[in-house]
Structure 1
């Protein structure tokens, strides 16, 4: 049988990076699941959270946008961004739709599934948590900072990350990890997209307990900003493994060789960048690199 029909894959992250991975996994349909970070507090998402509360919808909307199969009036509505000088300026209609549906639904997951059906998206999308929380960081100077945008602006290395308040992981996300044949981390902003779901104990424990899944880490194609730029790839891999109790990452996929990591991690070098945007992963190249590791 086809790999797409038999292999269950979970990708973890947020924003543009997770969206690219899920676009590369589109042929897996319902056998692919994205677990999406919900701690964003900037832009349209941050403004909605400030006045309405709830989880951050922005990264979920971004992933849905990249999974739209055919352009249609529904997808155009979902991607529409208001312009002008009023209070709607800068707001994305998709964020507002998800917020409204979330207010009408018993669970945020119900709102996501309604939009998935409207946009004909078959890949599963799960918020890492269905209760609002924020990212908090402790710097090497002993300063605590709360809020994803504030963490991004820090100029010194971090000692630790936390979620405030402590919230439970979405139960469907935990189950998806338990059943996965492959688990993918990255690409994306390491501290604010990749790490937040790993701070949820049940998700981290599920990764640690799934001994048969292959865990892959996909590198970014360009340097990061903020405190993540001060971290080496080795430190990022160690942070991930520490989160899931020393369960090893099985393969690291990137465009640059890392001889300094060999012996501890299996590093695979592949061409991944889009031809016209060197900072962006090409969907087909990413699909080929991921499926190569699944088949091995």
Structure 2
């Protein structure tokens, strides 16, 4: 289809949600780019960051896993998780491979591209930043917490979210946004996946400046826990637009109608996988993005 060759799509997020979206964009090949959150500090990723430093690799690994179309020994290695009682227990080999390649490479993006080439993944995967940083949040009660896992566990509603320290965005990601015909936010964890990349000033500025691109927000299919679960959809859209320097979201896509969202255009359509109602169906996501780009 000529659409795949003519149009460029950027999806922003992290983990399972972004991986699902990118797998729906696989026919766009190198005309599709995922900009991945790098602030995770839990699980295998957090342990590696504690010992080795560097950016969080878990969300990038997750996205690559969902884009592997040809199972092989290499892909099995990349997805392998150690079990047992020693230091390796719970570690994912893909995280360790990316960390090792990062140590051998000039920059993290080189490590990702080496893995992409090895696993024959065409879609561009770009970390939001190549510098270590963490999420930092201020609750309504005036209490600050640092670290993605701590943010997720906060009992109170958030009034502010920022990166600590403030780091530069990856230039290739900014360029991809500037050249995109569609920029997709979500699905995924709102505060830790979608908002994290938007907190980079260069990312917000690039979205603001690309007025020709359609800015699309994809809703989750199940309610979130933690402070994100206390936010209304209207608040989430306003947070995104504030980070994009006032740039309006062009269309909100979800399964439920939102008559209260009078300031946004909403597309209500089926998105759920037939056998798992909490997970987005790749084919349905693909159809939505194709129709929006064809308008």
TM bracket (short chain): over 0.9
Runs ≥4 residues deviating over 6 A: none
Write the distance in 2 (CA, Å) between the matches of 1:155 and 1:248.
Answer: 30
The offset of 1:261, in angstroms, is: 0.6
The offset of 1:218, in angstroms, is: 0.1
Q: Please, what TM-score do these two structures have when normalized by structure 1?
A: 0.99
The offset of 1:275, in angstroms, is: 1.2
Counterpart in 2 of 1:291?
290
Write the distance in 1 (CA, Å) between the matches of 2:244 and 2:32.
Answer: 21
1:103-122 pair list within 5 angstroms: 103-122=103-122
1:267 correspondence with 2:266: yes
The offset of 1:283, in angstroms, is: 0.5
SS of residue paired to 2:122:
coil
Counterpart in 2 of 1:29?
29
The offset of 1:295, in angstroms, is: 1.0
Write the distance in 2 (CA, Å) between the matches of 1:5 and 1:235.
Answer: 36
Moved more, 274-283 or 27-36: 274-283
Write the distance in 2 (CA, Å) between the matches of 1:146 and 1:295.
Answer: 42
1:220-260 Cα offsets, whole Å, 9 max, x none, are 00000100000000000000001111110000000101111
1:34-62 Cα offsets, whole Å, 9 max, x none, are 00000000000000000000000000000
1:160-175 pair list within 5 angstroms: 160-175=160-175
Write the distance in 2 (CA, Å) between the matches of 1:95 and 1:62.
Answer: 10
SS of residue paired to 1:220:
coil
Q: How many residues align?
A: 295
The offset of 1:290, in angstroms, is: 1.4
Write the distance in 2 (CA, Å) between the matches of 1:173 and 1:290.
Answer: 20
Write the distance in 2 (CA, Å) between the matches of 1:45 and 1:99.
Answer: 10
Counterpart in 2 of 1:200?
200
Write the distance in 1 (CA, Å) between the matches of 2:276 and 2:149.
Answer: 25
SS of residue paired to 1:17:
helix
Counterpart in 1 of 2:18?
18
Counterpart in 1 of 2:252?
252
The offset of 1:71, in angstroms, is: 0.6
1:154 correspondence with 2:133: no
1:77-96 pair list within 5 angstroms: 77-96=77-96
Counterpart in 1 of 2:278?
279
Write the distance in 2 (CA, Å) between the matches of 1:71 and 1:266.
Answer: 40
The offset of 1:289, in angstroms, is: 1.2
Counterpart in 1 of 2:43?
43
1:167-221 Cα offsets, whole Å, 9 max, x none, are 0000001100000010000000000000011000001000000010000000000
Task: Please provide the CA RMSD for this pair.
Answer: 0.6
Write the distance in 2 (CA, Å) between the matches of 1:107 and 1:69.
Answer: 26
1:82-138 Cα offsets, whole Å, 9 max, x none, are 011111010000000000000010000000000000000000000000000000000
Q: Please, what TM-score do these two structures have when normalized by structure 2?
A: 0.99
